[in-house]
Every structure is written in structure tokens, then in C-alpha cells.
Amino acid sequence: MADLSIDFAGIKSPNPFWLASAPPTNTGYQVQRAFEAGWGGAVWKTLGEPVINTSARFAAVHFGGQRVAGFNNIELITDRPLEVNLKEIYETKRRFPHHTIIASLMVEPKREKWHEIVKRVEAIGVDGLELNFGCPHGMAERGMGAASGQQPDLVQAQTAWVKEVATTPVIVKLTPNITDITVVARHAVKGGADAISLINTINSLAGVDIHSWNTIPNVGGQGAHGGYCGPAVKPIALSMVAECARDREVGVPISGIGGISTWQDVVEFMLMGSTGIQVCTAVMHHGFRIVEEMIDGLNHYLDEKGLASVTELIGKSVPKYSNWGDLDLNYQVVARINEENCINCNKCHIACEDASHQCIDMLTNAEGKAILQVREEDCVGCNLCSIVCPADRAIDMIALDNGAAPMSWNQRSRIISGVNGAYSEAEAG
């Protein structure tokens, strides 16, 4: 069995599986049950000014037979008094001294407010702080959450205020509701952040009831934008993690969040630069015990790969994530249909005819059987046919050696301007 323990910006954790700050980390009862189930850490549901929540507050997007493909909420930070939360954090830490407890914090962008909450929370023995600059709804209307997180200077200033008094590592949680995540990440680091976590939820409206014409969810017939999460947001989260991981000016550990439901998701986030991960929606859907499968799966995977520690995964795929302009334009793949696995549904033919390059022919073979065949010279290797194909191993994408040396768009642009410059000089001369 591999070593699953991590050191996240100085915070030790028995494994990389943390619960994200959210409804599952609302009370000591929940966090203690989670630790008993196997979670290595928990980010306690955001502490801050007393707030009141609405009823209803959650909605889900079910898609193609999968329940909770996406999840949406208009819930705010904790509505329990700070003293009650602190007492329960203290008790939980005492019972589970080797598990990680991070306090998520959100207050008004005022220096003294941050100082006060940091001192009170650290006094009861948390392992670290996570500054919530992400929630897009409710608190943002009061100048907190994403309202702060969308202003890089405010992120930097508030992080610096926290660092003035904090004695534990400070994680800054970023909002994805921004054009370039690295800008805010860099400002968090300039403010002194020891780590970042991302992503928080994405602005969303889960749906509209076409019979009542109410939004989903609705509060007495009225709706508001909420935060989107769950499996549907994973690609967005993964790309933002990757952007931060490869940015040299960011350069701090990353806690990956966003649609993580399986051990495979965990591996992907760690390969793309996360030192640890946080999970919420999958727990809300399936309960704390999903961590058992995650731990088993990760252990087997690491053993299969011959890795002694989960930390050996961190960032291994980051060098493979670059810019479009650096991709090799001469690399070529083509689709190849395996007759023995093809069920002749013709979905690849239709997709190719209507949406791609019309290179899959419907033919009849020597035995009179209908077959589909790719004209490889016309195939641009877009992958569409293999994506729409419902049969396993019926279409392979094969890499071809076309004899052309690698050439990227950036190289191409440089060489064209070079040759044009030389020609212009020759004409002038």
C-alpha cells in the first residue's frame, strides 16, 4: 500500500481527501462522522457574520439519465453562531488530532474584522485558514465572497490583513466567475497566501419549471442566481487548476475542487498540479462513505503504477498542458473503424457527414454485408466519430507518421514573418 499522506503548505493530512466547505461540514457531528468514514480533512463550513438562509436553496440538473450531473445552490455561509462552531471545531480536533481541520472564513473587507475572526478561530486550534472569496450569491450582494474575489487588489489586501495575524497556513479560495483565474491567484500570492484552492461555484440558474414558470429553485415564486458545482463543472475546474499550476508567478500548493466524485478524478486533479483535493457534491449525493472507494481505488492505482507515495502524482501532467500556439500542426491522427466491433448504427457516418469532413463511406463488402469505412486521406482526425460511437472499441484513432517534421503555429508565424521580411528587403535592395 502506498503512502497517502500529504503535506499541504505545511498542513499535514493522513490522506488528500478533504471535505470542501459546504453543507457536509456544517457541524461537529458531520465532520466527526466523515473522519470516521476515512476523510483526511475537512474545511469547516464558512464562518462569518450571522446570516439567515432561504427555503428552498438547492437544485440539481439531471442529464441523460444521470441524477445530479450538476448541482446548484443559493445557500449562504453558516447560519450558526460563531461560538457554537468554535466549540464543535475544538471538540472535533481533540477527538481527531491527526486529521486536518481548516476553518473557512468570510467577513466584510475590513482589516479589524479579519483580525478578530482569525484570532478567535486560531485560538481553538485549527490547522489552517481558507479565505472564502468565491461564493457568487448572497454574500456577494453584501460585498463579500465573489464580490471580493473578483477584485484582485481586494484579494491581495485582505490576504495581507489575514497574514498580519495568522499563525497557521492561509489558503485563498478563488472564484471561477472571472476572466483569467491566474490574475487573482497571483494577487493572492502577493498578499502572502500560502496556498490557493479552486474552484468555488459558478454563477448559474439551474432551470425554469415550464409549467409554473418559476425558476428552479424558487423561494415563494422568486428565484436568484446561484452557484453551480458537481460533475458538470469538473472540466472548468481542471483547466483553472492547470492554469494556476503552470503559472510561475503563482507557485504555491493548490487544493483542487470542482466535480470530484471518483478516485480517477482525484488522480486527474493531482496530476494537473493539486497537492490535495476537496469534495462536496459527491458527498451530498452519495454520503461520506464514497471516500472508501476513493481510498481503495487510489491505493490500487498507485500500486499498479509502482508509486510509493501519492505525492509522486502531483503536477506530473502540468508540462503536457501548454498553449494552442505551441501544438504540433503536423501531428496527425485518423479514425479507423473495426468491422468486428461495429454495430452499423451509422452514427459516425451521420456525424461525419453533417458536422465534420464527409470521410466515412457506407459500403458493401465482398460478402454483401454493409460496412462503414473511413477515407483516411480525407480524415482530419477530429475525433467526432469516436465520440458519438456507442460501441466499445469500434473506432480507434490512430496516429500516422506523415513524414512532416513538427511545426507549431508560433513557429509558423515566426518563419512567415522572417521570409516576408527577407523578401521585402530583397525587393527594396
Partner 1 sequence: MSAFAEFDRERQEIDNLIGLGYTIAGIYEDLDGARVTFIRSEPAGGPVELLLLTADARKHVTTLLVGRTRQTAAEIHR
173 bridge partner residues: 132, 197
Q: Calculate the alpha carbon distances from 253 to 36, 303, 318 in Å.
A: 27, 25, 13
Q: How far apart are CB 421 and partner 1 at their closest, in Å?
A: 9
Residues 341-370 that bind partner 1 (CB under 8 A): 357, 359
Least Å distance, CB 355 to partner 1, is: 15
Q: Are 257 and 275 in contact (CB under 8 A)?
A: no
Q: How far apart are CA 148 and CA 152, in angstroms?
A: 8
The H or E element that residue 336 is part of is strand 332-337
Contact 173, 134 (CB under 8 A): yes
| Local structure of 104: helix, strand or coil | strand
**Which sign does the torsion angle of CA 241, 246, 248, 253 carry?**
positive
Kindly state whether residue 416 participates in binding partner 1, applying the rule CB under 8 A.
yes
428 part of the interface to partner 1, by CB under 8 A: no
Q: Report how many residues bind partner 1 under the rule CB under 8 A.
A: 21
Spot the catalytic one: 135, 244, 342, 385.
Answer: 135
Q: Which stretch binds partner 1 (CB under 8 A): 105-113, 184-192, 227-235, 402-410?
A: 402-410
Least Cβ distance, residue 352 to partner 1 (angstroms): 12
Provide the mask over 305-334, with x wherever binding to partner 1 is found by CB under 8 A and - wherever it is not: ------------------------xx----
The secondary structure element, H or E, covering residue 251 is none
Q: Residue 70 burial by CB count (10 A; 0-12/13-18/19+): exposed, middle or buried?
A: buried
Of 365 and 424, nearer to partner 1 (C-beta) is 424
Judged by CB under 8 A, the chain residues 72 through 131 that form the site for partner 1 are none
Nearer to partner 1, 340 or 401 (CB): 401
Residue choice 304, 354, 367, 377 for contact with partner 1 (CB under 8 A): 377
Q: 286-291, long-range: CB within 8 Å, 24+ apart, which pairs?
A: 288/24, 288/33, 288/34, 288/37, 288/38, 288/39, 289/37, 290/261, 291/17, 291/34, 291/37, 291/38, 291/39
Does residue 135 have an active-site annotation?
yes
Binding status of residue 407 toward partner 1 by CB under 8 A: yes
Q: E strand or H helix at 221, and its extent?
A: none
Give the DSSP H or E segment for 260: none
Q: How far is the CB of 347 from partner 1 (least distance, A)?
A: 22
* Region near partner 1 per CB under 8 A, out of 103-111, 125-133, 343-351, 410-418: 410-418
In the region spanning residues 191 to 250, those forming contacts with partner 1, defined by CB under 8 A, are none
CB 400, min distance to partner 1, A: 13
Q: At what angle do helices 111-122 and 152-165 cross, to 10 degrees?
A: 50
Nearest approach, Cβ of 373 to partner 1 (angstroms)?
14
Given the rule CB under 8 A, which residues bind partner 1? 329-330, 357, 359, 375, 377-378, 404-405, 407, 411-412, 415-416, 418-420, 422-424, 426
Where in the sequence numbering do the catalytic residues fall? Answer: 135
